[in-house]
């Protein structure tokens, strides 16, 4: 049998502290879900000459996860501004990566691909 009510409360709080962060992480975009949206055959299926879908996804994940490890602010980065194929955009920190993932999640595939007539949003798209 469980102990005093305060012991039960402590156990409930401990359980909540373990479960709640996992619940929050599942609510928004992740590097995995973002890169899958961009390069998966079942989603946007963006392609680049000389690169396989697997290579594009791996590169995307590596760049996104590296950026998440660095603290920092947006420093003028705006994923919602339209960019062309000649613009070189890199994700430098966690806030830029978060803004980028949110942008990709919100856009249609044709708006993500700079080769389409109305694309070029949410750069970088490797």
**The pLDDT value given to residue 92:** 96
Integer angstrom CA distances of residue 96 from 40, 44, 58, 81: 23, 22, 19, 13
Residue range 8-35, pLDDT digits in tens: 545 555 444 444 444 444 578 999 999 9
Residue range 110-122, pLDDT digits in tens: 999 888 778 889 9
Question: Are the C-beta atoms of 48 and 124 separated by less than 8 Å?
Answer: no
The single residue listed with the structure tokens 């697997």 is: 54
Backbone angles phi, psi at 47, to 5 degrees: -130, 150
Instruction: Give me the chain's average pLDDT, please.
Output: 83
Question: Are the C-beta atoms of 52 and 118 separated by less than 8 Å?
Answer: no
Residue range 80-110, pLDDT digits in tens: 988 755 556 899 999 999 999 999 999 999 9
Longest dimension (CA), the chain: 67
**The pLDDT value given to residue 15:** 44
């Amino acid at each position: 049998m469980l102990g005093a009510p305060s012991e039960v409360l402590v156990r409930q709080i401990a359980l909540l502290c373990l479960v709640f962060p996992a619940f929050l992480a599942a609510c928004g975009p992740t590097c995995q879900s973002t890169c899958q949206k961009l390069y998966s055959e079942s989603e946007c299926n963006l392609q680049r000459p000389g690169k396989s879908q697997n290579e594009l996804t791996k590169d995307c994940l590596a760049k996104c996860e590296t950026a998440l490890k660095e603290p920092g602010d947006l420093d003028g980065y705006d994923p919602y501004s339209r960019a062309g194929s000649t613009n070189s955009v890199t994700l430098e920190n966690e806030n830029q990566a978060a803004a980028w993932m949110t942008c990709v999640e919100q856009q249609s595939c044709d708006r993500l691909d700079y080769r389409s007539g109305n694309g070029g949003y949410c750069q970088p798209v490797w």
